[in-house]
């Protein structure tokens, strides 16, 4: 009798009268526990080989130091292996082949929709194919390009404009654009702003999304470039736009973190509370940035980087720097939540050093507001954001 796999049919018996049981020798996609069991078994095998699972990112495993250092990153059943010694990498591959049925795809060129291009100058990351597919699906493949992701003169509100009759299209576009921000810091603020209207999107919001698609059309292959000659030094820029939300009067936090000249982390997010002054808004942005720096320092220590020197954190507000450096509470700061003051602890411990910077040199500006083309272009050049597919 042929029985459907995984089903229990009452009264089904074999020719000798015993009940029939289906045994799964291999987990299959769709089972709720399959991914967890696979990850547990894979992690145990790596630890047996000598790897240590990172406490900063549980998908990262590291082993050794110097020329024998090797790092492994796993996402479900996709694995990246890197290290300076090819023999050590080959030994790991042979071990994994003895434990699992794996397919070696060779040098990394494509990972989770991210395209990787290598040269002697460095590594370039982009999502060109993903961006072109997005433009084709939305009907903007032949549109007229735009120079900026969002018009700085347009102020979007939650209640302005006519409600969309069908919000599903807007939500699908925002969801796909969110994934594009992995390699496109230049559209981070625009996507963050437009994602705030998912509940009740209106016509002006959809028009802003279409404007953003026209900007992507201008350079679909734009992405991050990591120079091979970049120094190993962690630094960050923190900024905020005080009371910029017209509906809630909340401020926007923006920061970007560099390892040498290479951008490795960035964020644009509306603050959870209303700030009473621009200094308070900047200070809250500093707290968010320091939190990211603490995590990145732990992560870089897993890669055996020397982080004995403090991380330079640039801020264009002297009052916020004084609040972080002054251990005395006073009338201007007693209403700020206690958890924000851990910035002082990091400064005291020597992990972070706050540095003043002029507003025109603030690289976190594109993550707090919509900028004009000259200002945006200047910031992107300093962030090493390039389109290797564009004309030279």
CA angle 85, 91, 93 (to 5 degrees): 105
Element spanning 297, H or E: helix 278-302
Check whether residue 258 and residue 359 sit in a common domain.
Answer: yes
Question: Is 225 part of any domain?
Answer: no
- Residues for the chain: how many in total? 392
Same domain, yes or no, for 205 and 252?
no
* Predicted local distance difference test score (pLDDT) of residue 367: 92
Lowest-pLDDT range of 135-139, 262-266, 371-375, 386-390: 386-390
The per-residue pLDDT for range 349-359, each reduced to its tens digit, is 888 899 999 98
Strands (E), 76-141: 78-82, 110-111, 114-118, 122-126
pTM of this structure? 0.84
Does 70 lie in the same domain as 159? Answer: no
Q: Domain of residue 278: give its range.
A: 230-371
Q: Is the residue at 44 inside a domain?
A: yes
Q: In this structure, are 256 and 331 located in the same domain?
A: yes
Q: What would the mean pLDDT of 91-118 be, rounded to a whole number?
A: 88
What the block records as the tokens of 92 is: 């790991």
User: Are residues 242 and 295 both part of a single domain?
Assistant: yes
Number of domains, the chain? 3
Q: Are residues 134 and 250 in the same domain?
A: no
Of 81, 100, 125, the position where a domain reaches its end is 125
Look at residue 376 and tell me if it is in a domain.
no
As a whole number of angstroms, the distance between CA 102 and CA 319 comes to: 56
Q: Is residue 366 part of a domain?
A: yes
**Residue 24: inside a domain, yes or no?**
no
Write the pLDDT tens digit of every residue in 240-272: 988 888 878 899 999 999 998 899 999 999 998
Helix runs in 146-257, H state only = 168-180, 188-194, 203-218
Task: Summarize the confidence of residues 117-132 as an average pLDDT.
Answer: 91
Angstrom distance (rounded) from CA 307 to CA 330 = 34
**In a shared domain, residues 153 and 273:** no
Confidence class for position 386, pLDDT limits 50, 70, 90: confident
Tens-place pLDDT, residues 137-162: 999 988 899 999 999 888 888 888 89
Is 171 found in the same domain as 214?
Answer: yes
If asked whether residues 331 and 200 sit together in one domain, one would say no
Q: According to the model, what pLDDT value does residue 153 have?
A: 87
Rounded average pLDDT over 25-43: 71
Render 231-286 in DSSP notation, one character per residue. Answer: ---EEEEEEEETT--TTT---EEEEEEEETTEEEEEEEEE-SS--SSHHHHHHHHH
134 and 106 belong to one structural domain: no
Same-domain check for residues 291 and 212: no
């Amino acid at each position: 009798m042929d029985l459907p796999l995984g089903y229990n049919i009452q009264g089904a018996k074999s020719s000798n009268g015993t009940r029939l049981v289906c045994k799964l020798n291999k987990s299959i996609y769709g089972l709720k526990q399959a991914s967890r069991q696979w990850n547990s078994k894979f992690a145990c095998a790596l630890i047996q080989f000598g790897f240590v699972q990172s406490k900063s990112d549980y998908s990262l495993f590291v082993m050794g130091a110097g020329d024998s250092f090797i790092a492994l990153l796993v996402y479900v059943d996709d694995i990246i292996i890197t290290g300076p010694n090819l023999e050590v990498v080959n030994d790991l591959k042979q071990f994994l082949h003895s434990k699992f049925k794996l397919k070696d795809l060779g040098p990394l060129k494509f990972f989770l929709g991210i395209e990787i291009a290598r040269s002697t100058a460095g590594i370039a990351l982009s999502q060109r194919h993903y961006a072109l597919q997005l433009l084709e699906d939305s009907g903007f493949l032949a549109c007229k390009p735009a120079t900026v992701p969002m018009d700085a003169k347009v102020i979007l509100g939650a209640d302005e404009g006519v409600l969309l009759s069908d919000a599903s299209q807007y939500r699908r576009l925002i969801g796909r654009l969110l994934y594009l921000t992995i390699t496109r810091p230049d559209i981070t603020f625009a996507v963050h702003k437009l994602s705030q209207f998912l509940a009740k999107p209106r016509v002006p919001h959809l028009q802003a999304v279409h404007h953003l698609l026209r900007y992507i059309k201008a350079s679909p292959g734009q992405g991050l470039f990591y120079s091979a000659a970049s120094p190993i030094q962690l630094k960050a820029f923190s900024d905020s736009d005080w009371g910029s939300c017209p509906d809630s009067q909340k401020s926007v936090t923006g920061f970007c973190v560099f390892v040498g000249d290479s951008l490795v982390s960035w964020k644009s997010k509306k603050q959870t509370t209303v700030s009473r002054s621009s200094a308070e808004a900047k200070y809250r942005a500093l707290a968010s940035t320091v939190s990211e720096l603490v995590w990145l320092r732990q992560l870089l220590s897993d890669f055996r980087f020397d982080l004995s020197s403090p991380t330079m954190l640039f801020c264009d507000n002297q009052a916020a720097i004084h609040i972080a450096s002054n251990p005395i509470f006073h009338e201007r700061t007693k209403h700020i939540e206690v958890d924000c003051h851990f910035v002082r602890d990091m400064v005291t411990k020597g992990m972070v050093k706050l540095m003043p910077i002029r507003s025109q040199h603030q690289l976190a500006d594109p993550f707090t507001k919509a900028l004009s083309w000259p200002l945006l272009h200047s910031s992107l050049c300093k962030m090493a954001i390039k389109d290797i597919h564009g004309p030279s």
